[in-house]
Amino acid sequence: MPAIRTIGSAISFFGLALLLICSPARAQDKATNPDTSANSDQQKQPITDADIQMLRKNLRSERKQVIAANMKLTDTEAEKFWPLYDQYISELVTNNNLKYDLIKQYVQQQGNLTDAQADAAVRQWIQVDESVAQLRLKYVPLFRKVLSARNTAAFYQVDRRIQLMIDLQLASALPMMEP
């Protein structure tokens, strides 16, 4: 169970961060309807792209710490694993940039997408999922060259759990699109 607690604490940080990302839409909503906010002076400033980039960097650091805490690597494995892991994460970040662009668009438009925007968003979201799956498949033999089969499986298990928890936090933080 220590793995779950470690992953959970890292993801709690992510959940808090998501609330900050989603708050601009709520702040804009309250700004257009001043009656809904008793303390409109205390509204938070919209989060900037720089804030989001810093948040994502912190999440990557947290993710790496969780991986390290849950992997039983020999010194030899660690020496070869971490540079490969950093390469994997770099490619994952590139894939996930589109996901965060979609979220930002959705939040900025307060979920009011045109039919064309909604269609494009669905297709882009699925493409991100597909590209991440392809990335994972690409790295299986690469990780397998530097890790035992069991450690490779353990890495993918922990990495997938982290991603599922991030995705769950993300999905629960965003309001549903109105049909």
For residue 135, CA distances in Å to 63, 90, 109, 155 come to 17, 11, 30, 14
Q: Which long-range contacts (CB under 8 A, 24 or more apart) does 120-128 make?
A: 124/98, 125/99, 127/98, 128/95, 128/96, 128/98, 128/99, 128/102
pLDDT tens by residue, 6-15: 555 555 555 5
Instruction: Measure CA 7 to chain center.
Output: 13
Q: Locate 7 and state its tokens.
A: 């992953």
Spans in the chain with pLDDT lower than 70: 1-57
Name residues whose C-beta falls within 8 Å of residue 21's C-beta, 6 or more positions apart in sequence. Answer: 47, 52, 55, 103, 104, 107, 173
- The per-residue pLDDT for 52 is 65
pLDDT tens by residue, 37-74: 444 444 445 556 666 666 666 777 788 899 999 998 99
- The per-residue pLDDT for 54 is 65
Listed by start position, the domains of the chain span: 2-173
How big is the CA angle at 80 (ends 78 and 85), to the nearest 5 degrees? 85
Report the percentage of the chain scoring pLDDT > 70: 67
- The per-residue pLDDT for 174 is 76
